[in-house]
């Protein structure tokens, strides 16, 4: 058993990663809340977990998942129950998923639908972002209603014809979200440039999976990032770039940060673990796993993203968890455009970054906690309830054995519920 609800327990002898750095302390949990952090805690009648030779970090927070989302006539293959089970077994105790507005429908319909899919099914705590795909006077008004429902982040797309909104509408959304104190998350790929690139691919006559990255040039990502930076400057609205894939996109973000733009960068394990050489493989079942948008980039981007993870230029590691079975992907064997985009990840993110980052690349354990829990909590209004080991915080606690491959135990607050964010 690698995960357990944390009602009452003393975690003894561990190296705690707190906001003030490493602390050799005990940690007491009472009723699922951290109630004491002190050098030696004595309390009768409470279970003790010996965390000697272990790091004790905040439970993982994955702020980018898509459980049972409708995509191209099918649904991502994890229900909220299955996906959140994977999350906790891999050391993640909170997720934020995306409720998607359908064109012609309201934001509150999407919100209610996602609450229905998730409430009473989730195994860890969860929150929702709201994807806005139809910008009307009504949907802009509804942003206030969503804030009252605890949704503080609003996703916008510059790609996907059925989801994307114009730059003018993006600015209207950003002005409104700024007014209510929220944040815009953005899928940054210029849809017109994608359509143009796709036209060239179709004209070439090769619709096999290896053409997928050709239909998503780096320039489309860079262009969309530049646009959203400009609109963020104009509106003052903070912006969070989801699934950043390229060196050039990261350079734009670093530059904008230097110029005082409130912008955050998220990348995902797939962009660190792989590069576009995978698209040379000819086996459909392996290759089709990497059909996602944006696609994997070259080795230079892969290394630049790793540099960003190590240096702090990348703020968050999330997953974009959106799995499909091989049967679901098989429809696109002859035409990659029919393959539903996305891959698995919620259960393996904490392990991946520990093994590849902390053990192999010298990522500090403090940055590990920051990237996987503290920064996501701060950016998305969960802090200090989540994302930190602090008296009064929820007892979502991940214990990792030092100096060996990811070997962990997760104590999590309680069987999941919806998080009303601030």
Q: Which does 25 bind (CB under 5 to 8 A by kind): ligand URP, Zn ion, none?
A: none
293 binds ligand URP (CB under 6 A): yes
Cross-strand partners of 157: 187
Whichever of 63 and 250 has its CB closer to ligand URP, that residue is 63
Whichever of 197 and 292 has its CB closer to ligand URP, that residue is 292
Whichever of 322 and 399 has its CB closer to ligand URP, that residue is 322
Class of residue 395 by CB neighbours under 10 A (exposed 0-12, middle 13-18, buried 19+):
buried
Q: How far apart are CA 106 and CA 101, in angstroms?
A: 6
- Residue-wise burial string across 308-318, b where 16 or more C-beta atoms lie within 10 A, e elsewhere: bbbeebbbbbb
Q: What values do phi and psi take at 314, rounded to 5?
A: -90, 130
Query: According to CB under 5 A, which residues from 317 to 336 bind Zn ion?
Result: 320
Cross-strand partners of 70: 75
Q: Which does 292 bind (CB under 5 to 8 A by kind): Zn ion, ligand URP, none?
A: ligand URP
In the numeric block, which tokens belong to residue 34? 């951290």
Q: How far apart are CA 322 and CA 299, in angstroms?
A: 24
Least spacing, CB of residue 228 vs ligand URP, in Å: 15
Query: According to CB under 6 A, which residues from 223 to 252 bind ligand URP?
Result: 243
Least spacing, CB of residue 287 vs ligand URP, in Å: 15
Whichever of 66 and 172 has its CB closer to ligand URP, that residue is 66
Q: Site for Zn ion (CB under 5 A): how many residues?
A: 2
Say if strands 54-58 and 9-18 run parallel, antiparallel, or are unpaired.
parallel
Q: What does each C-alpha distance from 298 to 248, 254, 278, 287 come to in angstroms? A: 11, 20, 10, 16
187 binds ligand URP (CB under 6 A): yes
| CB-based closest residue to ligand URP | 341
Q: How far apart are CA 297 and CA 294, in angstroms?
A: 9
Whichever of 185 and 393 has its CB closer to Zn ion, that residue is 185
In the numeric block, which tokens belong to residue 56? 């004790």
Query: According to CB under 5 A, which residues from 375 to 414 bind Zn ion?
Result: none
Q: Which of 49, 39, 22, 40 is nearest to 409 (CA)?
A: 49
Query: Pattern 181-210, binding to Zn ion, x per CB under 5 A?
Result: ------x-----------------------
Whichever of 65 and 372 has its CB closer to Zn ion, that residue is 65
Least spacing, CB of residue 270 vs ligand URP, in Å: 9
Whichever of 125 and 320 has its CB closer to Zn ion, that residue is 320
292 binds ligand URP (CB under 6 A): yes
In the numeric block, which tokens belong to residue 137? 């006077």
Q: Which does 340 bind (CB under 5 to 8 A by kind): ligand URP, Zn ion, none?
A: none
Q: Which does 378 bind (CB under 5 to 8 A by kind): ligand URP, Zn ion, none?
A: none
Q: Site for ligand URP (CB under 6 A): how many residues?
A: 9
Whichever of 244 and 400 has its CB closer to ligand URP, that residue is 244
Q: How far apart are CA 408 and CA 59, in angstroms?
A: 11
Query: According to CB under 6 A, which residues from 50 to 109 bind ligand URP?
Result: 66
Q: Which does 367 bind (CB under 5 to 8 A by kind): Zn ion, ligand URP, none?
A: none
322 binds ligand URP (CB under 6 A): yes
Q: Is the dihedral of CA 212, 218, 221, 227 positive or negative?
A: negative
Q: Which does 341 bind (CB under 5 to 8 A by kind): Zn ion, ligand URP, none?
A: ligand URP
Least spacing, CB of residue 14 vs ligand URP, in Å: 36
Contacting residues toward Zn ion, per CB under 5 A? 187, 320
Contacting residues toward ligand URP, per CB under 6 A? 66, 187, 243, 292-293, 320, 322, 341-342
């Amino acid at each position: 058993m690698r995960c357990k609800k944390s009602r009452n327990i003393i975690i003894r002898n561990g190296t705690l990663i707190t906001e003030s750095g490493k602390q050799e302390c005990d940690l007491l949990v009472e009723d699922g809340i951290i109630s004491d952090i002190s050098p030696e805690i004595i309390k009768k009648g409470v279970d003790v977990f010996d965390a000697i030779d272990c790091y004790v970090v905040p439970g993982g927070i994955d702020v980018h998942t898509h459980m049972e989302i409708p995509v191209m006539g099918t649904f991502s293959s994890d229900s909220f129950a299955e996906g959140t089970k994977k999350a906790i077994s891999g050391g993640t105790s909170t997720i934020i998923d995306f409720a998607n507005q359908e064109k012609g429908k309201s934001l509150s319909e999407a919100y209610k639908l996602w609450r229905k899919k998730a409430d009473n099914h989730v195994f860890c705590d969860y929150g929702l972002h709201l994807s806005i795909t139809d910008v009307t006077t009504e949907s802009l008004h509804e942003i206030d209603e969503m804030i009252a429902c605890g949704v503080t982040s609003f996703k916008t797309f510059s790609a996907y014809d059925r989801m994307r909104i114009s730059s003018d509408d993006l600015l209207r959304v950003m002005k409104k979200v700024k007014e209510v104190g929220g944040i815009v998350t953005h899928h940054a790929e210029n849809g017109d440039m994608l359509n143009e690139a796709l036209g060239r691919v179709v004209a070439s006559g090769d619709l096999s999976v290896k053409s997928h990255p050709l239909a998503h040039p780096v320039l489309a990502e860079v262009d969309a990032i530049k646009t959203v930076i400009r609109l963020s400057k104009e509106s003052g609205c903070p912006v969070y770039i989801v699934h950043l894939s390229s060196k050039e996109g990261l350079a734009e973000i670093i530059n904008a940060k230097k110029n005082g733009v409130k912008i955050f960068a998220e990348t995902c394990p797939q962009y660190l673990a792989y590069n576009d050489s995978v698209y040379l493989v000819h086996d459909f079942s392996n290759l089709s796993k990497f059909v996602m948008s944006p696609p994997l980039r070259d080795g230079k981007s892969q290394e630049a993203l790793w540099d960003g993870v190590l240096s702090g230029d990348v703020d968050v590691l999330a997953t974009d968890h959106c799995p499909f079975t091989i049967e679901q992907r098989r429809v696109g064997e002859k035409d990659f455009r029919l393959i539903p985009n996305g891959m698995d990840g919620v259960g393996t993110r904490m392990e991946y970054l520990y093994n590849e980052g902390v053990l192999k690349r010298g990522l500090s354990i403090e940055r590990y906690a920051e990237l996987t829990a503290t920064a996501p909590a701060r950016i998305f209004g969960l802090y200090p309830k989540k994302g930190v080991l602090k008296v009064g915080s929820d007892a979502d606690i991940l214990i990792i054995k030092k100096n060996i491959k990811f070997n962990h135990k997760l104590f999590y607050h309680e069987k999941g519920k919806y998080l009303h964010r601030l």
